[in-house]
Amino acid sequence: MSRPAYIDYGSTPPVPTLRKTAPHLSNYRRVYRASERAAQPAEAAKPETLEDYLAGYERNNARHVVIKARDLESTFDFKVRNEDVAQFCKDHGPRFIGFAGVDPHKGMEAVRELEHAVRELGLRGLNLQCFENKLRCNDAKMFPLYAKCIELDIPVNIHCSTNFSTATLMDYGRPIYLDEVMVHFPELRVVASPPGFPWVDELIAVAWRHANVSIGLVAMRHKYLNVPNSGYEMLLQYGNSVLQDQIIYGSAYPMMPIERSLAEIDELPLKDSVRQKWLHDNAARLLGV
């Protein structure tokens, strides 16, 4: 019997145009080595294929999978192009939903690029990995993009957590900066992901204050929500109660194997109705599907 339909808010397909890395992310490969190795096929000599990736989502009854572009040209001369994300979504059907990536340092060029990505390419959100742009999310360079997201009626993904790149500061990801953004832009629909570590309490406070802030359970081991002293325990308590409508699941594949990630969510002591919200309903509402 197949599992109920779910939405994976963060995934990177095994195609060269999308699964790219750069020197500033080399420390990520050290941190996530074990999880990424586990995401590969069991036969060590067999490379992961696109067919494996697509079949995994079919097998597990994924309704939608979000693929995100990134533009870091001003800081790291690195880009996952909007056109490539849009092409992947077009080639592989409505299961896949693309988010645009633009570089806030490019000013109005970035605003125009975002509008083009949404209106012409069909992308349905904006992805801002602020630590890679070397900007806090409350930097004024971000404000025209937030205003455009409201105008286009799309959500924005904002990195809110530590990062493992030693080429930039971890402070860029502090959730407290998001509070100022929401005071200035209360209509903005935000997914803060990963979920705030080591400032999880800050992120919970921001989401509790602002109903338009969701917390993305992305790029983490979901089992740690139920492990004492992990730093994530408060998310389980609040996410199972007052914030149950603001939690969104994502595997961050290949950082986590799809089946393992889902199994860890299944094992959490959640109300059945809350698990359904985390895995599907909250993301469906955010994405308008």
Q: What is the pLDDT along the chain (289 residues), one digit of tens a residue?
A: 579 999 999 999 999 999 998 888 778 778 777 666 666 655 555 678 999 999 999 999 999 999 999 999 999 999 999 999 999 999 999 999 999 999 999 999 999 999 999 999 999 999 999 999 999 999 999 999 999 999 999 999 999 999 998 999 999 999 999 999 999 999 999 999 999 999 999 999 999 999 999 999 999 999 999 999 999 999 999 999 999 999 999 999 998 899 999 999 999 999 999 999 999 999 999 999 9
Q: What is the pLDDT of residue 41?
A: 59
> Residue 214 pairs with which residues in a beta bridge?
191
Q: What is the pLDDT of residue 40?
A: 64
- The answer to whether the Cα torsion of 158, 229, 221, 249 is positive or negative is negative
What are the domain boundaries of the chain?
6-287
CATH class of 6-287: alpha beta
DSSP assigned state of 256: S
Q: What is the pLDDT of residue 109?
A: 98
Q: What is the pLDDT of residue 22?
A: 86
Structure tokens at 203: 């992120």
Helices and strands (DSSP H and E) totals, the chain = 14, 10
Cα separation of 261 and 147, whole Å? 34
Half-sphere exposure of 173 toward its Cβ, with a 13 Å CA cutoff? 23
Q: What is the pLDDT of residue 26?
A: 79
Q: What is the pLDDT of residue 39?
A: 60
Residue 131's nearest CA partner among 75, 172, 167 is: 172
Residues 10-28 as b/e (b if ≥16 CB within 10 A, e otherwise) read: bbbbbeeebeeebebbeeb
Residue 209's nearest CA partner among 237, 178, 240 is: 178
